[in-house]
A and B are shown apart, each in its own frame.
Chain A
Amino acid sequence: MNKLLVLLLVALLGGCVSMAKVETGERAVGDRMTVTIEGPWNHLDSSSLGPAETWTMEGLPVDQLLLYPGLKDGQAIHARGQGGPNAKSFEFRAAMQPDEIVGLFEGMLTRDGSRFRLMRLEPVDFAGQKGFRFEYALTRKVDNVQLLGLGYGTVSKGELFAIVYTAPRLTFFARHRDRVEQIAKSARLKN
């Protein structure tokens, strides 16, 4: 875990990350999505973190909530250059089916050699649209920590809206799961 913390610290310092408190209530995520939260979260802000807003309850690398407020066709789901200059890029395409979109998240989460196991993929409404929900288990390569995750997504007007939460299986995932489910249920899209 120490090595992971050092790597994270270097990444955060290198990218000049700022942290802000996200207060209870309705919050805009990007231009087209809103969510309503009960209880505050921490929002990490940096261009180095990629196209998703990154929130956390416990602090990175413990838990991470990624909120994608409209990813366009051809846009990568992670920061450019993340994982090294030769790392495979995972790009969203508007015609992708839910299983392919989940495959993108799997690809992003396993770029460092971590192992991903899909536990459930089901159709649900998300942000007022037909969408999908998935659950997964992740074994992190760098420290062998076992994590659980859940995600929601939908494609609207060719753009991907999604939230993806990952936290250690022991204690933390169960602690925050209901909050994440509540955020997912509160998500709305603006026209």
Chain B
Amino acid sequence: MKRRQLLAAGGACGACLMSPWLGAQSEWQTPGRFPRPPLDTDEGGLWALMDREETRLRRSPFVIRDPALQAYVQAVACKVAGPHCPDIRVHLVNTPLFNASMAPNGMMQVWSGLLLRIENEAQLAAILGHEIGHYLQRHTVERLRDTKSRTAFGQFLGLFGLVGAVGQLAMLAGMFSYSREQESEADRIGLTLMRQAGYDAREAARVWDNLLLEIKARKSGEAQNSSPMFATHPSAEDRQKILLQLAEANPGGEAREAHWQKTIKPFRHEWMLDEIKRRQFDETLALLNRMIARFAGEAEFLFARGEVLRLRDGEADADAALKDYLAAAAVGGEPAETHRSLGMIYRARNQRTEARTSFERYLSIAPRAPDAAFIKNYIAELGS
């Protein structure tokens, strides 16, 4: 796309922002596939930089290397991207924060903290659609042209790579974010794309509704600490309201929850342990309370909430944790660590028989656990 076409596209989308939903949907046309820009242009240089980052990303030990999950998410991206499918490459990255990003060369990153939080395929489609919206409107290129400082631009590029600390990423995202107009435009395009792909557009609003619960649970209310996306986007409240209004004007579509949950089940335990290790206890409790309310009878979530409460160790937390661990064991299919944690609480309360029984149960399920030697020592201390 030449610059004139780009401006024309931007102008068209500026118009859709002022139009009602259906009008915007009819006016906005998916652009054709983008040819690779010449290397001696600013956009060509940007693509080359992103190609280099993508090569590094492919080799990174942080990438989730599961062909089935990768193929699933890539397929959803393809459904949403339509004719741009061949140009978009999804990379799943093990990082316990809610984030996705789209580079101008078609490299998309989706982090495990996001995969853990979404409830169904439609919500995934909403996020991917939003990122593809940025790609189709070439927002990064616009930002490149707006960003005068080379240092600032270098930092902006860092957002798309794996380099840099996670904490810095949130700060950078806040400093060099897309404009509110660009975000709103990506939201609208994302909603259009997900609806065209057959998904229930109301799920886009639910993503932000769910995240609001976590934001409000934070004592500091500093949402950008938990996700660079919070720092780069309009407020979650505004976004949730607008998306819901737009979705209700265009009802129908599927959520595909069962399929999504079945697909991520093998990964959920590890992602939840990563989430717990962040030690953002109040925020994680908000997430787990939501999951337990929605997926009643899942031992994994009950165990995870018990872990958060045990580690937070506030007043009455141990009692609440014990209740969750016992509920997880009663449901069945609980992680082995449920029994280790039960043992820890019983041991701290000098309930020796219960502690020993729990530790023995843990070792019978996980005899090669890394802490097995330590647990055996506890059992010996507790006596017969």
Interface size, B (range): 20 to 34
Partner of A86, one of B59, B225, B311, B371: B225
Please choose the segment from B75-83, B160-168, B354-362 that sits at the chain A interface, where 4 or more of its residues have CB less than 8 A away: B160-168
**Nearest CB of chain A from residue B104's CB, rounded to whole Å:** 22
- Taking the complex as formed, is B267 at the interface, i.e. its CB lies under 8 A from any CB of chain A? no
Q: Are B165 and A112 in contact (CB under 8 A)?
A: yes
Knowing A88-B278, A90-B279, A142-B165, say if A99 contacts B370 (CB, 8 Å).
no
0/1 per residue, A128-153, Cβ < 8 Å to B? 00001000000101111010000000
Tell me, in angstroms, the Cα distance from A144 to B18 when the chains sit together: 46
Residue of A nearest to B220 (CB): A86
Stretch in A60-68, A114-122, A159-167, A171-179 touching the partner: A114-122
- Contact assessment for B344 and A97 in the assembled complex, using a CB-CB cutoff below 8 Å: yes
Within the assembled complex, what's the spacing in Å between the Cα atoms of A90 and B280? 11
- B56-81 contacts to A (CB < 8 Å): 56, 59-62
Contact of A113 among B59, B166, B222, B373 (CB under 8 A): B166
* A121-B374 contact in complex given A88-B279, A90-B279, A113-B166, C-beta closer than 8 Å: yes
Interfacial chain B residues near A45, Cβ < 8 Å = none
Bound complex: CA of A31 vs CA of B56, how far in Å? 46
Give A139 to B167 CA distance when docked, in angstroms.
17
Residues in A neighbouring B224, C-beta threshold 8 A = 86
A103 in the interface (beta carbon within 8 A): yes
CA distance A86 to B218 in the complex (A): 12
Q: Are B164 and A99 in contact (CB under 8 A)?
A: no
Decide yes or no whether B216 CB sits under 8 A from chain A.
Answer: no
Q: For residue B111, give the distance in angstroms from its CB to the closest CB of chain A.
A: 10
How many whole Å from A154's CB to the nearest CB in chain B? 14
Complex interface: chain A residues within 8 A of B165 (CB): 83-84, 111-113, 141-142
Check A99/B371 contact, CB under 8 A, given A84-B167, A84-B168, A111-B167: yes
With a cutoff of 8 Å between Cβ atoms, the chain A residues found around residue B95 in the complex are 113
Does A8 lie at the interface of the complex (its beta carbon under 8 Å from any beta carbon of B)? no
Is residue B94 within 8 Å, beta carbon to beta carbon, of the partner chain?
Answer: yes
B180 on interface, CB distance cutoff 8 Å: no
A97-B344, A113-B165, A144-B62 known; A106+B371 contact, CB < 8 A: no
At the interface, yes or no: B256 with Cβ under 8 Å from chain A? no
Pick the contact of A144: B61, B277, B278, B344 (CB < 8 A): B61
CB distance from B309 to the nearest CB of A (A): 14
Cβ proximity bits A88-110 to B, threshold 8 Å, 1 near / 0 not? 10100000011110010011001
Known: A86-B170, A86-B222. 7 other contacts (CB 8 A): A86-B167, A111-B167, A113-B166, A121-B371, A122-B371, A141-B166, A144-B56
The 3 A-B pairs of least Cβ separation, nearest first, read A113-B166, A112-B165, A122-B373
CB<8 Å pairs between A and B, sample of 19: A83-B165, A83-B167, A84-B171, A86-B220, A90-B279, A98-B374, A99-B371, A107-B279, A112-B167, A113-B166, A118-B371, A119-B370, A121-B370, A121-B371, A121-B373, A122-B373, A122-B377, A141-B62, A142-B165
